[in-house]
Structure 1
Amino acid sequence: MSSETLSNANAGERTGGYAWIVLALLCLVYVLNFLDRQLLSILAKPIQDDLGLSDGQLGRLGGLYFALFYCVLGVPVAWLADRGNRVRVLMMACALWSAATIACGMAQTYPQLVLARMSVGIGEAGGVPPSYSIISDYFRANRRGTALGLFNLGPPIGQSLGVAFGAKIAAVYDWRLAFIVLGGAGLMAAMAVGTFVREPKRGATDLAIDQHAQEHATVSFWATVRMFAIRPTLALVSLAAAATQFVTYGTLGFTTLFLMREKAMTLDEIAIWYTLVLGIFVSAGIFLSGRLTDRFAERSPQIYGLLPGIALALAVPGFIGFVHAPSWPVAMGFLAVPTFFNYFYLTPAVTLVQNSVSARQRTLAGAVLLLIMNLVGLGLGPTWVGAVSDWLRPAHPANSLQLAFYSLVPFYLLAIALHLALARHLGRARRAARAS
């Protein structure tokens, strides 16, 4: 074995503490990515009051309009990152979505806000897939679930910080200032990525026996899409995650508005209590799912589907209790249950996809996974809830959002069924591999 191959094979060990520094910085960028993305839903009530928007307009603004650009452009950006410098792509993307977030705070009309949100989507398209690939080249397969689990703490931390700072700034000053301040923080994070993160060698932490094949693998978008279509593992995991995100994004897009409008919660109360629920329970769920995945996946690959399926089944009663609760303190208690269990799907899905493709396909495969998940979940979830609320509001003006939330329960059941189907397929594949 050549010295270069040995060097590549040991890159994950050689990097040592620096790998964790890179992971922390990438997680910080993901925090800002999700914070900027969710700021609209966090400040939905003051934005709605200021610009005179309906629930349906809010749903399309945070869902369909954003997701079209975020999802579609994620693919060519990932293709570029798989062939070029992933760190540079991430830095430029972070700078773009942060500048667009500042533009959201300056919008005076609904069309202006739509254009600014679309620009946020364009920038954020280059955020997550390059990060998945960079992390996979800094951490070996047996540590990848934990590393990606820690990285995936970005959304809950971003949500909680967005609620804490965004709601507090809006309550004390103005909702526009929240966008401007947090967008400025993103511009500083982009500079930090360009300064401190080094581009790793592709496949650096994979087994040396796979290096030659991975370095000469042909990667194309349509080949990757076809791979997701014909390989049952990739098809099932992407559809199961998409159905789950329909529920999670549909809920996230309107929880703050629901609590304020139908549970009489104030922005100051949201800045404290909703922040705590998001920060503690989503983070705990994502981190625990990553640890459990690393612990059991090697001897029982069914865990990639079984763990999220069981978690979602446990989440349903808590979700119904949250929607039905007579007051916001009771609602907060129930909300902790689905907030904890709803995100058990994310790390297993990302880890399974990253471990199932070659090193040169990881960014593009991650982008295709996000394309499927986000077109369905991010694009349609909030759009669905907003449209149902608008449709029901003439007959149920006091609780249209409550009834719209109930319409998400069948999608919970669909997500559970798809995850269990994934677990069954992985179990059969494992038995077939042993038999052969």
Structure 2
Amino acid sequence: MASTPGRTTEGSRPGAYRWYVLGLLTLTSAFSVADRLVFSILLQDIKAAFSLTDTELGLLGGAAFSIIYVIAGFPAARLADRSTRKTIVAAAISFWSLMTAGCGLATGFWTLFLARTGVGVGEGCSGPSSQSLVADYFTRAELAKAMGFLTIGASMGTAGGLLIGGQLAEIFDWRWAFVLMGLPGVVLGAIIYVTMREAPRGRYAPAGTDMAQRPLGETIRSLATNRVFTGLALGWAVQIMIGYALAFWMAPVMLRTFGISTGDVGLYLGLTFFLGGIPGPILGGYVTQWLCLRDERWRAWLPGVTSLGCLIPLALSLTSESFGAFLGWFGLAYAIYVASQAGIMSGIQAAVEPASRGFAVATALFFNNLIGQALSLFVIGAMSDALTPMQGESALAIAMFGVSLAAGIASLAIFVWTARQMGPSGYLEKMRGG
């Protein structure tokens, strides 16, 4: 393939530095999820401190974060598509880390709500820039593998938020847990700003690709008419309802089911997230890469299959009376679930122009947070409150699985439809008119 000036061909690759960049971005993802989900291990303490209902907890965990997250994401994505992305990531992680620490100063529902919106502002700015950078440091053939490693950050963050947050709450209290979880992110932001180099935009784009950012209206129209992108984005938004249900509500389920301490829940659940969440994305990335060399449609088929596949061990976990069986089946369910992320993320990056990658990610994350986080966490909390008079402490687990089952079935249908839009090969060129 001929290269245009300043463009790197598929056959030439940067050196080991790209893995350093991927490592920093993976740590950024880990801090993002840890600061977002440390809230879940502190739910029971916060509920008792402010006399909140599960519905209010669902709003704090979902809507308070997600509404501002999606509002901040779009302007940050437009900026990411034309300016220095590493600076955006460094500033974003520093800001949301300070706001996480600020959650520890809350005096009630509304002050905590406002602090959570601040966390959403920062995190909404980092995702588009991070994924766009990865796409310019790794070739299209390697992109699924790279995104698989990036997904490890979410697993590390989920485990760290629960494990470290739980131990901090046990040693100190829930307020200090927020403060001590938040401040280290400021240090990582400084490291990113000082040591990370900006990659040439569109380094691996086909020769002749227009690298200029399109007007906003044209960008929106191109994404809206790109059936592969819209299918992957919508399928991801519905499927991630399962992920948020697991990450946010499993700790309260354990506390209510087994009557153990917050520290023990954070320790055991955090380790389970870690043991399931590290091999799952790596294996998913390699499997997706191997399958896509044979048929591009596996970027959609594999997420569809895993969306339903993870529900079987999840059902076995939630109905287990043994604590060990509960954790074992849950670890398997989570590993299967996160194996799907590499295909979705790499498919989105491959299906759009380099100059609109950041905005494409922001659009996908808009639906992720609106449907996957804000809607699902609120619905699960409301269902739990409604079922509690009849089901008692089991109400939350029933509500959680019911929403996950509906999401698994719906996302499978969407991903199957998306695969039909791709064709066996060359869908990237078809979507771009090549």
Correspondence for 2:290 among 295, 302, 308: 295
Q: Is the 8 A contact 1:160 1:275 kept in 2?
A: yes
Partner in structure 2 of residue 266 of structure 1: 261
1:91 Cα deviation after fit = 1.2
Give the equivalent residue in structure 2 for 1:387: 382
Aligned CA distance change for structure 1 residues 305 and 324 (closer, same or farther; 3 Å): same
SS in 2 for 1:423: helix
Q: How does 1:150-169 map to 2 (within 5 A)?
A: 150-169=149-168
Which of 399, 416, 421 is the equivalent residue of 1:420?
416
Residue in 2 aligned with 1:228?
223
- In 2: Cα distance, 1:297 partner to 1:415 partner: 20
TM-score for both structures, normalised by structure 2? 0.93
Return the letter of the residue paired with 1:214: D
2:351 alignment partner, one of 329, 353, 356? 356
Answer yes or no: is the 8 Å Cα contact 1:146–1:287 preserved in 2. yes
Change in 2 beyond 3 A, CA 1:348/1:248: same
- Residue of structure 2 aligned with 1:248, choices 243, 248, 252: 243
CA 260–220 in structure 1, closer or farther in 2 if over 3 Å, else same? farther
Query: Is this contact kept in 2: 1:221–1:364, CA < 8 A?
Result: no
- Following the alignment from structure 1 to structure 2, what is the Cα–Cα distance between the partners of residues 384 and 151? 29
Provide the residue aligned with 2:330 in structure 1.
335
Structure 1 position 7, deviation (Å): 5.1
- 1:263 CA drift (Å): 2.6
Asked if the contact 1:86–1:199 (Cα under 8 Å) also holds between the matched residues in 2, the reply is yes
Match of 2:211 in 1: 215
Aligned length: 429
**Alpha-carbon distance in 2 for matches of 1:358, 1:172:** 49
CA drift of 1:14 comes to 5.9
Q: Alignment partner of 2:413: what SS?
A: helix
Partner of 1:45: 44
Structure 1 residue aligned with 2:59: 60
Q: CA deviation at 1:221?
A: 3.8
Q: Distance in 2 between matches of 1:276 and 1:221?
A: 44
State how far apart, in whole Å, the 2-side matches of 1:7 and 1:76 are: 27
Structure 2 counterpart of 1:95: 94
RMSD: 2.3
For 1:372 and 1:168, how far apart are their aligned partners in 2? 33
Alpha carbons 2:296, 2:425 under 8 Å: kept: no
Distance 2:418 2:72 in 1: 28
Aligned residue in 1 for 2:127: 128
Q: Equivalent residue for 1:411?
A: 407
How far apart are residue 294 of structure 1 and its match? 1.5
Note if 1:137 corresponds to 2:136: yes
The aligned residue for residue 191 of structure 1 is 190
* Greater displacement, 179-188 / 219-228: 219-228
2:366 aligned with 1:371: yes
Distance 1:305 1:123 in 2: 30
Aligned mates of 1:12, 1:429 — CA distance in 2? 19
Structure 2 CA distance, aligned partners of 1:221 and 1:7?
A: 25
- Measured in 2, the distance between the counterparts of 1:156 and 1:398 equals 27
Q: Which runs of 5+ in 2 are unaligned?
A: none
How many angstroms does 1:224 deviate by? 3.3
- The alpha-carbon deviation at position 330 of structure 1 amounts to 2.2
Distance of 2:247 and 2:280 partners within structure 1:
16
8 Å CA contact 1:203, 1:214 repeated in 2:
no
What is the rounded CA distance, in whole Å, between the counterparts of 1:74 and 1:163 in structure 2? 26
Are 1:278 and 1:339, in contact at CA under 8 Å, matched by a contact in 2? yes
Letter in 2 for 1:122: V
2:203 equivalent in structure 1? 204
**CA distance in structure 2 between the partners assigned to 1:92 and 1:170 by the alignment:** 28
Of 272, 275, 289, the residue aligned with 1:280 is: 275
State the AA in 2 paired with 1:367: A
Is 1:347 the counterpart of 2:337? The answer is no
CA distance in 2, matches of 1:98, 1:391: 35
For residues 137-178 of structure 1, what are the alpha-carbon distances to aligned partners after superposition, in whole Å with 9 as ceiling and x for unaligned?
111111121112111111100011111211011112111111
Query: Percent identity of the aligned residues?
Result: 27
How far apart, in 1, do the equivalents of 2:211 and 2:217 lie?
A: 19
One-letter code aligned to 2:409: L
Whether the 8 Å CA contact 1:11–1:138 is kept in 2: the answer is no
Q: CA deviation digits over 1:11-48, x for unaligned, max 9? A: 99463011111111111111101110111112211221
Question: Out of 290, 297, 301, which is 1:306 matched to?
Answer: 301
How far 1:49 sits from its partner (Å)? 1.7
Distance in 2, Cα, partners of 1:406 & 1:95: 35
SS at match of 1:205: coil
- SS in structure 2 of the partner of residue 8 of structure 1: coil
Which residue in the other structure is 2:316 paired with?
321
Q: Contact 1:23 / 1:151 at 8 angstroms: preserved in 2? A: yes
SS in 2 for 1:59: helix
Q: By how many angstroms is 1:287 displaced?
A: 1.5
- 111-120 or 284-293: which moved more? 284-293
| Amino acid in structure 2 at the alignment position of 1:241 | W
Q: What displacement does 1:133 show? A: 0.9
